[in-house]
Amino acid sequence: MEHILMGEYDIIVVGAGHAGCEAALASARMGNKTLMFSINLEAIAMMPCNPSIGGTGKGHLVREIDALGGEMGKNIDKTFIQSRMLNTAKGPAVHSLRAQADKHKYHVEMKKTIEKEPNLDVKQAEVVDLIVEDGKVCGVVTKTHTYYLAKAVILATGTFLRSKIFIGDSAFDSGPNGLAPSMEFADNLMKHGMKLRRFKTGTPARALASTFDYSKMEEQKGDEKIVPFSFMNDHLEKDQISCWLTYTNEETHTVIRNNFHRSALFGGQIEGIGPRYCPSIEDKVNRFADKKRHQLFVEPEGLDTEEMYIQGMSSSLPEDVQRDFYHTIPGLENIIITRPAYAIEYDCIDPLDLKPSLEYRMIKNLFCAGQFNGSSGYEEAAAQGLMAGINASLEINGKEPLVLDRSEAYIGVLIDDLVTKGTNEPYRIMTSRAEYRLVLRQDNADLRLTEKSYAIGLASEERYQRFLAKKAEVDAEIQRLEETIVYPKDANAFLESVGSAPLKNRSSLAELIKRPEVTYENLIVIDGDRPQLSSHALAQLEVQIKYEGYISKQLAQIERFKKLETKVLSEDMDYSEIDGLRIEAMQKLNQLKPRSVGQASRISGVSPADINVLLVHLEKLRRKR
């Protein structure tokens, strides 16, 4: 059948989940005529799993997405129903914001934002093939025999490619949340030479709020002082909804153990690899047999629904077993399940086939993002979508890609881990993955990234001016605190009241803030004449002063790291011609074509000795030139 041309665009985005939305918005905002496809418009920014944004490590990503001009932080600020700052008992490097979302409103608000965006069209259609000519992507073909031309294409297919749902011994082709899967597209991608593999994830049951017994669970309230995700918001006020905490027990575990043989996970039906850091409940009971209980959070899915999400209990066990084990848990004895837990298996690529810009190595101008790249989580997907949108735009406009390194952003850590080290399971960001996490805090994401985004034409003028104002505000106040001197007679009564040692000599206010017992807030007792600062400036200010020594040490480490990152390697370099490289290193380097010596040093199979050989080779080339 003849295919009909329906339009020509600069950039086409396939998929409208969290990766697709950020990719499409970034592309359009950078001045490109953009088209985003969704298999169903109800799937735009859908939350098929947990109804939340942020969390440990993930909150850092959301702040960075926001600092670069992305939408996720602004959207969750509009639609959250509870907000909490996690890890506050630990240092500021691991403080992470997490918000419960009204998942339907989150979808509605993002859909509205996309529909109103100039340069951006959105269509409900199933893309079934790419148009590739001379090794370069030129457009896409839909199931209804139409085609669209484009200078670049971004694949953000999430968990829809040949997706299959497992509930006990029932297995059927389906996308998440009962939406249609994309079957034909996966076959055609393989025809274009893409190597696909199977990953798996899962989601817990949902149950009616009115059927829980909250007297048997521990209430989890939101923070009294709400901290916004977006740097564009200084203050947020909202009545918050509670979440609830409960635990499994030995009876729960017995029901699960007695039915291991009925689990799709243990029965061999599932071939995909699941996430290590978010296992199903049967996997937890099997792997941690000595553990007496597992923690569960009961979370509202929104203000206009009775459904509650039971976090921590994804499963592929049959419905009758699910009912039985949920009913053994305090507070859940009589719940009515509206949607059973399930496992979902899907196709994705090996991220080692991607450049650091997220361009696919074997097809020019084809970019990939999100769970299609082997990651898990809304935040990881959105971060990659944003970077794919940015770099697709830069590529078609003849500009160098924006690649954030590990010292600049958690986004840099995420993408570098994927494209340099690869992953054998759905990848999840964690603060422990970042070597320079004291510098990569969530409070300073705008200071790290907004200038970069403004330079490429993504961050708005309003955002850039806010960034400059905050930077000036923080710098001026630090200078004032360093220059304001107090004497023992002025400060010792205050210091005694907060349990801090008295002064023997004069001191600056900045030096006092470095003491553990002293905060910028309680210092007001002896520092009443101070300017009114924004909430974001306050968060930045205190950390910068209190941890100045540690930050300086980390900045010195970053300088050493940068020396290898700035030693650029040509994409045309043939590593088989370099004498002294081990065969494994030569093969890996030729496969991955690292952009710098620093990236080469992180490739599995490349040893420090190989890096020394590479440095000697580069020095020889430099001298020849």
Where do you find CATH 2.40.30.260 in the chain?
Answer: 206-344
**With 80 as the cut, is the pLDDT of residue 268 above it?**
no
**Dihedral of the CA atoms 227, 228, 229, 234 (nearest 10)?**
-120
DSSP 250-268: HHHHHHHHTTGGG-HHHHT
CA distance 457 to 450: 11
**CATH top class, domain 206-344:** mainly beta
Q: Of 278, 276, 265, 285, whose CA–CA distance to 328 is shortest?
A: 285
Q: What is the pLDDT of residues 89-105, one digit of tens each?
A: 888 888 999 999 999 99
Q: Tell me which residue of 589, 592, 598 sits closest to 362, measured CA to CA.
A: 592
pLDDT category, 155, cuts 50, 70, 90? very high
Over the stretch 170-198, which tens digit does the pLDDT of each residue have?
999 999 999 999 999 999 999 999 999 99
Specify burial of residue 572 (Cβ count, 10 A radius: 0-12, 13-18, 19+).
exposed
Check whether domain 567-624 has CATH 1.10.150.570, yes or no: yes
User: How large is the average pLDDT for residues 285-304?
Assistant: 94
Cα 568–570–571 angle (5° rounding)?
130
Closest CA to 114 of 26, 245, 208: 26
Q: Chain-centre distance of CA 286, in angstroms? A: 29
Report the pLDDT value the prediction gives residue 291, as an integer from 0 to 100.
93
Structure tokens at 141: 């073909």
pLDDT (0 to 100) of residue 269: 76
| 249: exposed, middle or buried (Cβ count in 10 Å: 0-12, 13-18, 19+) | middle
Whether the per-residue pLDDT at 373 is higher than 90: the answer is yes
Residue 229 pLDDT greater than 90, yes or no: yes
- According to DSSP, residue 524 is labeled G
In the chain, what is the straight-line distance between the N-terminal and C-terminal CA atoms, in Å? 57
Rounded to 10 deg, the angle between the 445-455 and 461-483 helix axes is 140
Q: With H, G, I as helix, E, B as strand and everything else as coil, classify residue 64.
A: helix
> In the prediction, which pLDDT does 144 show?
96
Give the model confidence (pLDDT) of 25-42 as tens digits. Answer: 999 999 999 999 999 999
Helix, strand, coil percentages (3-state) for the chain, rounded to 5, are 40, 20, 40
pLDDT at 92: 87
Sorting pLDDT into bands at 50, 70 and 90, what band is 49? Answer: very high
Dmax over Cα atoms in the chain, in whole Å?
A: 90
User: Rounded to whole angstroms, how far apart are CA atoms 334 and 524?
Assistant: 52
Q: Where in the chain is the domain with CATH 3.50.50.60?
A: 4-201+346-455
Nearest to 147 by CA among 124, 132, 130: 130
Name the one residue in this structure whose structure tokens are 């209804």. Answer: 144
Q: What pLDDT sits at residue 161?
A: 97
Q: Map tokens 């890890």 to a residue.
A: 87
Does 281 score more than 80 pLDDT? yes
- Please report the pLDDT score of residue 529 as a whole number: 84
Q: How confident is the model at residue 274 (pLDDT cuts 50, 70, 90)?
A: confident
Q: Give all strands (DSSP E) within 209-336, no chain letters.
A: 218-220, 243-247, 295-300, 307-311
Q: Residue written as tokens 């806010």?
A: 466
Q: Burial letters for 414-439: b for 16+ Cβ neighbours within 10 Å, e otherwise? A: bbbbbbbebbebbbbbbbebbebbbb
- Say whether pLDDT at 266 is over 80: no
> Which two structure tokens, joined as six digits, stand for 569?
């390697």
Q: Rounded mean pLDDT of the chain?
A: 94
User: What digits encode the pLDDT tens for the residues 542-570?
Assistant: 999 999 999 999 999 999 899 989 999 98
Q: Does 276 have pLDDT greater than 90?
A: no
Q: Where are the beta strands (DSSP E) in 143-233?
A: 146-155, 164-167, 170-173, 196-203, 206-208, 218-220
473: confidence class by pLDDT, cuts 50, 70, 90: very high
Enter the pTM of the model.
0.94
**Type of residue at 594:** P
pLDDT above 90 (res 486): yes
Burial zone of 14 (CB within 10 Å; 0-12 exposed, 13-18 middle, 19+ buried): buried
Q: Where are the beta strands (DSSP E) in 180-251?
A: 196-203, 206-208, 218-220, 243-247
Q: How confident is the model at residue 624 (pLDDT cuts 50, 70, 90)?
A: confident
Helix (H, G, I), strand (E, B) or coil at 542: helix
pLDDT digits (tens, 9 = 90+) for 6-31: 999 999 999 999 999 999 999 999 99
Q: Do 392 and 367 contact (CB within 8 A), yes or no?
A: yes
Amino acid symbol at 423? T
Angle of helix 58-67 versus helix 445-455 axis, rounded to 10: 40
The mean pLDDT of 426-442, rounded to a whole number, is 93
- Token pair, residue 483, equals 């220059």
Rounded average pLDDT over 410-424: 96
Q: What is the CATH number of domain 471-551?
A: 1.10.10.1800
What local confidence, expressed as pLDDT, does residue 103 receive? 97
How many Cβ atoms are within 10 Å of 215's Cβ, its own excluded? 7
Q: Which of these, 309, 315, 336, lies nearest to 212 by C-alpha position? A: 336
**Better-scored residue on pLDDT, 529 or 125:** 125
> Residues for the chain: how many in total?
625
Q: CA–CA separation, 360 vs 343, rounded Å? A: 28
CA dihedral 493, 497, 500, 505 (to 10 degrees): -10
Residue entry with tokens 């992507």: 137
Beta-sheet strand order (sheet of 52-54): 52-54, 96-101, 80-86
Nearest to 330 by CA among 266, 246, 424: 246
What pLDDT sits at residue 297?
96
Fold (CATH) for 4-201+346-455: FAD/NAD(P)-binding domain (3.50.50)
Instruction: Read off the pLDDT of each residue in 224-234 and give the average, rounded to a whole number.
Output: 95
Q: In whole angstroms, how large is the CA radius of gyration of the chain?
A: 26
In whole angstroms, what is the distance from residue 586 CA to residue 125 CA?
44
| 265: pLDDT strictly greater than 90 | no
The crossing angle, in degrees rounded to 10, of helices 319-326 and 250-257 is 170
Q: In DSSP terms, which residues pair with 300 in a beta bridge?
A: 308
Out of 77-81, 291-295, 391-395, 610-614, pick the least confident. Answer: 610-614
Q: State yes or no: pLDDT of 270 exceeds 90.
A: no
Q: Do residues 254 and 329 touch, judged by C-beta distance below 8 A?
A: no
Alpha-carbon distance values, 391 to 99, 353, 356, 624 (Å): 29, 16, 10, 33
26, 120 in Cβ contact below 8 A?
A: no
Q: Kind and range of the H or E element at 385?
A: helix 378-396
User: The tokens of 267 are what?
Assistant: 């029965």
